[in-house]
Structure 1
Amino acid sequence: MIKYSFATSATQVARPPAPAAAPASPLPGELIDYQACPLCASQALAPLCSADCSHHPRYSPELSRTMHWSRCAACGHVFRSGYYTDAALKVVFRGTNESQVVGYDLERQRYVSAQMIEKVLPYQSHGTWVDVGFGNASLLFTAQEYGFEPVGLDLRQQTVDELRKWGVSAHCQDVAQLELPRPASVVSMADVLEHMPFPKVGLGAAHRLLQPGGVLLVSMPNRGSTVWKALDAANANPYWGEIEHYHNFDRERLYALLAECGFEPVRYGISQRYRVCMEVVALKLPR
């Protein structure tokens, strides 16, 4: 169970105090602290909660076992106190969760991916489908079945090499550096934006890569959902201790960010990929 505690304010229910600070991390310079909100750049920040992440499968004693979260008073965004340095990311990326291995649970994942693709089909039905952070690659394999040309991006070189063995184009690079021979019909960021230190950079890249009217498909946990609140009340919310996450969005903040980055959300749905997740289809608008 994830143990966490919330900072209190006049509008918050009091929670037990945070646990004693964990010993200093042996990895120097683990985090680069946010000096302002990573979405709106406001410096009006307030501590929100702390969580023990030592039970996470990607945790290593080289990392701090306590994660601290803040809230922006200006735009309401909730984010971690900082993001990992390159040295810390090498520790996090040493291994891969079983569910993120290319080809994992291939047949069942195909049905999950098909439901996502069918939300896209009313808006785009062919062309290049770029999946950022493709993980087990089920979404790309299934998009290929539907007639799309799949292209995968991931920051784990081993994962990229494995996808290439399946005959799918794959790149080990940040989406901001990706160049395509022609604009994409679809860019998917399935449980990816919350991993990016600055999500606006990723959304800007998606906008650049898409053709006019192209589709952006995003999914992530929804901290505004009743299920999220129930998990908080039971002190059992795993996302406060998710070491690969820097952000926790609700629907309203995500929609505002998409609009700011040149997208029009056109469909909301519930994701079956992970617990408490939402899926949003958005269309590229001209800038």
Structure 2
Amino acid sequence: MIKYSFPAAPVTYRPPANTPAVLANELIDYQACPLCESKAFRPLRSADCSHHPRYSQELSRTMHWSQCAACQHVFRSGYYTEAALNIVFRGTNESQVVGYDLERQRYVSAQMIEKVLPYQTGGTWLDVGFGNASLLFTAHEYGFEPVGLDLRPQSVEELRRWGVAAHCQDVKGFELSRPASVISMADVLEHMPYPKVGLHAAHRLLQPGGVLLISMPNSGSMVWKALDAGNANPYWGEIEHYHNFDRDRLYALLAECGFKPVRYGISQRYRVCMEVIAVKA
């Protein structure tokens, strides 16, 4: 992740000559909290995202965050339009390229899979937003049947070349020939404009007693608070994120969507992240 510093005083930004104009319709603004639908929310903070690797001068360089007064959820002011997503998805971060750092990532993925094994040991493993696909490759070693979903067409085509079933499709409308035993959303839920939609889809696609594996940044951790105190928290300027969860808010959302959290852990994928195993109730 990129390490940010925030200026103490406002800074006037003047774009260089001949730069692309900022997209007119970049965001669809949230009119209510995307989790509880309360219309009582307030501005929380803003952050500069212009140093993010997926940033383009066609996008606004400032991200605005809000907090719901009813459920305390923290979310971005809006989510990208299709035109803005096309700009963000023009490229892929190196760490998200299929096959990236394959041997080292195998060890990270193995630790995640071993947390699942007490609850499921085989069947279809559906990875939503598979990124570098290490989790699917390693799940195959453990005897699972890997299936990947991703919204980047180039990633889907590359995974197919590795011989793994892959689909360029949103999980909301996705169908499986038989229910999955495991669905992973590793650093994915915070990218979804409406996380409940993704969780309801996962619940529909899982077999009874199936496992949901989720990882994401934990905004309630002491590390997060320390980064905030030092004006060095990269997640406020993470342009592909629409939400910041702490453990309590995530657990409440999982319960609302028909899941029972059974294990909490620290993720080794990215900074300040938590890893949660939940079972379909």
TM over 0.5: yes
Q: Work out the number of aligned pairs and report it.
A: 275
C-alpha separation in 2, matches of 1:162 and 1:126: 25
The alpha carbon displacement at 1:2 in A equals: 2.0
Q: 1:174 to 1:144 in 2, by over 3 A?
A: same
Q: Does 1:268 align with 2:248?
A: no
CA shift at 1:195, angstroms?
0.1
Residues 114-140 of structure 1 show CA distances to partners (whole Å, capped at 9, x for unaligned) of 000000000000000000000000000
CA drift at 1:26: 2.0
1:69 corresponding residue in structure 2: 65
Deviations 1:127-176 (A, max 9, x none): 00000000000000000000000000000000000000000000000001
Q: How does 1:13-32 map to 2 (within 5 A)?
A: 16=8, 26-32=22-28
**Residue from 173, 177, 198 that aligns with 1:177:** 173
Q: Secondary structure at the match of 2:57?
A: coil
Normalised by the size of structure 1, how large is the TM-score? 0.93
Specify whether residues 256 and 37 from structure 1 end up closer, same or farther in structure 2 by C-alpha distance, changes over 3 A only.
same
Asked if 1:190 corresponds to 2:186, the answer is yes
Normalised by the length of structure 2, the TM-score is 0.95
Judged with a 3 Å threshold, the aligned counterparts in structure 2 of structure 1 residues 19 and 282 are, in CA distance, closer, same or farther, namely farther
The CA distance in 1 between the partners of 2:57 and 2:30, in whole Å, is 23
Unaligned 5+ runs, structure 1 = 6-15
Match in the other structure for 1:157 = 153
* 1:118 corresponds to 2:120: no
1:20 CA drift (Å):
5.5
Shift of 1:3: 3.8
Kindly report the root-mean-square deviation, in angstroms, between the aligned alpha carbons of the 2 structures.
1.5
Measure how far apart 1:28 and its partner are. Answer: 1.3
Q: 1:55 & 1:72 partners in 2: Cα distance?
A: 28
Instruction: Tell me how far 1:4 sits from its aligned partner.
Output: 4.5
SS at 1:214 equivalent: strand
Q: Counterpart in 2 of 1:9?
A: none
**Is there any run of 5+ residues in structure 2 with no aligned partner, and where?**
none
Secondary structure in structure 1 of the residue aligned to 2:241: coil
Moved over 3 A (4+): 16-25
Partners of 2:71 and 2:197 in 1: CA distance = 18
Partner of 2:96: 100
1:239 pairs with 227, 232, 235, which one? 235
CA distance in 1, matches of 2:263, 2:189: 18
Name the residue aligned to 2:250: 254
Secondary structure, aligned partner of 2:54: coil
3-state DSSP of counterpart to 2:95: helix
The aligned residue for residue 143 of structure 1 is 139
User: How far apart, in 2, do the equivalents of 1:164 and 1:72 lie?
Assistant: 41
**Of 68, 84, 94, which residue of structure 2 is paired with 1:88?**
84
Task: Supply the distance in 1 between the matched residues of 2:22 and 2:244 (Cα, whole angstroms).
Answer: 27
Q: Cα distance 1:236–1:22, how it changes in 2: closer, same or farther (>3 A)? A: farther
Identity of aligned residues (%): 81
Tell me which amino acid in the other structure corresponds to 1:226.
Answer: M
Whether the aligned pair in 2 keeps the contact of 1:228 and 1:276 (CA below 8 Å) is yes
